[in-house]
Amino acid sequence: MPRAAKGTSRPLQLRYLAHARSGDKGNTANVGLIALRPEWYDLLRREVTVARVARHFRGMVSRVERFELPNLHALNFLLHDALDGGGTISLKTDAQGKVYSTALLRMEIPVPTTLARRRASKPA
Amino acid sequence: MSGPIVRIAAGQGFWGDWLEAPVRQIQGGPIDYLMMDYLAEVTMSIMQKQKSRDPKAGYARDFIPLMERILPDLVAKRIRVTSNAGGVNPRGCAEAVLEVARRLGLQGKLRVGLVSGDDILDRLDELIAKGHALSDMETGRPLSEIRPRVLSANAYLGMAPIVQALQGGADVVVTGRVTDTGLTLGPIFHEFGWSPEDWDKVAAGTVAGHIIECGAQASGGNLLRGWRSVKGMANPGFPIVEAASDGSFVVTKHPETGGVVSVASVSEQLVYEMGDPASYITPDGVADFTTIRLASAGKDRVRVSGIRGRPRTPMLKVSVAYFYGYKAVGTLVYSWPEAYEKAKAADRILRQRLADLGLEFERILTEFVGVDATHGPLSGPPDPDLPEVQLRVGVRAPERAGVERFTREIAPLVLTGPPSVTGFAGGRPAVEEVVAYWPALIDRREIEPHVRVEILEA
């Protein structure tokens, strides 16, 4: 769980702040993470860092890249070597990375306590 | 948005998509074009295999009975079709459409545009000899390493031959490996007469194509945001692009259909299979997805504008499919109590038996469906009282024999392993041939002179 200053912020799962869709390109999965409200995009951009996402998926992917789409209030993540060879080679249930999207939504980031309280019951 | 619009309706998002969709797109309201995308990365190799057994096969066979169903309506309503259903045999596909048209009494009323020249399987050795390494875009390995195992090789063509076919009067354009987005770009550029070097317009049409190329995935299907409130999905409205002459467009769907077209549904589709959003590269140009502006424009209408693009690159992507090896996946279901413990014990026993038999695999993967199959270690500790767990074990190897033997080691676990096991009624798992995908690049000057467009009369 990310460190957060006590009292002012609390960890909150991304599912309460964003929706997502994922897909594949060869052995790479992509996850597009879209803020549920435009005003939360900056929070996502600040807190959903490459380092944090790589830590979240440790042992599952080799490398993480991040791209910003402020126009869609979205971040795009490339998760390399995530699919056991990908496409037809993969033995995984999720050979095409269709549900890496929701796996990312499990991640917690520190958010202001008031926001955490307000959102805790309202997933995407 | 003012002036004329061109309506392009998505009919199929992949080979195997909902068969009613194209029919409802034609009957549910006015459209000008029906766009049907059939080709995924390895579809071409499946079709190549079918063609090697039957020279008349090698295309999306579903397309023919579908055309039989909709051709009279298409002709009556003057709706034109663009589709890459031709696979590795676009000529065979076009001829089958013509045959259906004649049977329906449409002689003289239907022209089929046939696009070929994407298939470079017969030219591979010549191209390699000329110095084209066709290296794997992911690994950098040269194609020569797997040359004897290549099953199909096709360059991705863009919109140009489709525009040419439409200008030649084609009502149904049948292609091989044309990009999904080219099937939408072609009609828009043909109708508005835009220059293929108007890069912002190319980018706009590319984005339109990307939004509708996966069918209902842009109009409520697989929509995560507020999925419970998506209504009427027994009759989903597939997406329709209303393109305007200024390059902007509206994404919508027919009235009286289920699903939803919203900023959320379009956004989720935009990020699907995305790489670097600033450089979405197609044969026709490079689209910058960070310039896209989305705005709600009424119920089930999203306006898309502001899209900027850059010139096309000198290269075309090539999709090579090659024989990789064999795989099989076996499953068994264990019930409460201690379902997960039983499944884990069965996995240990199975792996010991495989090792004792001296079988070697490139990969053995165990997943416990209900515990960790979709999110792996992120799933957290399972509920100790799970009602059931499915053990799912997959193996992969270059040779068939070991994989074959593996498939005979699943059923014995029912009587020789942990208790409370079921779910084996399907019998032995099948051994599958693995055909893998090899993406490469080639100088477009090697391909474009070979592209051919023919107009055939019913």
- Measured CA to CA, the distance from residue B238 to residue B254 in angstroms comes to 8
Is A21 close to B271, i.e. CB distance below 8 A? Answer: yes
- Measured CA to CA, the distance from residue B203 to residue B103 in angstroms comes to 40
B363 touches chain A (CB under 8 A): yes
Share of chain A above pLDDT 70, in %: 95
- Considering only the beta carbons, identify the residue of B138, B273, B292 that sits closest to A23: B273
- The residue among B250, B181, B192, B264 whose CA lies nearest residue B222 is B264
Share of chain B above pLDDT 90, in %: 95
Three-class SS of B180-232: CCHHHHHHHHHHHCCCCCCHHHHHHHHHHHHHHCCHHHHCCCCCCCCHHHCCC
Longest dimension (CA), chain A: 49
A27 touches chain B (CB under 8 A): yes
- Confirm or reject CATH 3.40.50.11540 for domain B321-436, answering yes or no: no
Structure tokens at B105: 């009494």
Structure tokens at B323: 């024989």
B274 and A32 Cβ atoms separated by less than 8 Å? yes
B268 touches chain A (CB under 8 A): yes
Is B437 close to A87, i.e. CB distance below 8 A? Answer: yes
Structure tokens at B309: 């693009």
B448 touches chain A (CB under 8 A): no
Q: Are strands B315-335 and B388-397 parallel, antiparallel or unpaired?
A: antiparallel
- With contacts defined as CB-CB under 8 Å, which chain A residues touch B268? 19-21, 32, 34
pTM, entire model: 0.96
Amino acid making up residue B82: T
Does the pLDDT at position B108 exceed 60? yes
For the stretch B60-89, pLDDT in tens is 999 999 999 999 999 999 999 999 999 999
Domain with CATH 3.30.70.2750 in chain B: 321-436
Confidence of residue A3 (pLDDT cuts 50, 70, 90): low
Q: Give the CA distances from residue B266 to residues B66, B72, B183, B211, in Å, rounded to whole numbers and listed in that order.
A: 27, 32, 19, 7
Does the pLDDT at position A120 exceed 80? no
- Measured CA to CA, the distance from residue B378 to residue B367 in angstroms comes to 13
Nearest Cα of chain B lies from the Cα of A9 at a distance, in angstroms, of 23
Confidence of residue A17 (pLDDT cuts 50, 70, 90): very high
- With contacts defined as CB-CB under 8 Å, which chain A residues touch B302? none
ipTM, 2 decimals? 0.95
- Measured CA to CA, the distance from residue B389 to residue B404 in angstroms comes to 25
Is A88 close to B434, i.e. CB distance below 8 A? Answer: yes
Nearest Cα of chain B lies from the Cα of A22 at a distance, in angstroms, of 6
Does the pLDDT at position A5 exceed 80? no
Most A CBs within 10 Å, among B149, B296, B378, to test the A interface: B378
Helical spans, DSSP H, in chain A: 41-47, 50-56, 100-105, 113-119
Question: Helices B182-192 and B160-167 sit at what angle, rounded to 10 degrees?
Answer: 50
The contacts of residue B371 (CB under 8 Å, 6+ apart) are B340, B379, B382, B386, B389
Q: Say which residue the tokens 């600033």 belong to.
A: B278
For the stretch A78-116, pLDDT in tens is 999 999 998 889 999 999 999 999 999 999 999 999 999
- Measured CA to CA, the distance from residue B232 to residue B236 in angstroms comes to 6
For the stretch B251-308, pLDDT in tens is 999 999 999 999 999 999 999 999 999 999 999 999 999 999 999 999 999 999 999 9
Q: Say which residue the tokens 């002459």 belong to.
A: B245
Is A32 close to B373, i.e. CB distance below 8 A? Answer: no
Q: What is the mean pLDDT of residues B439-455?
A: 98
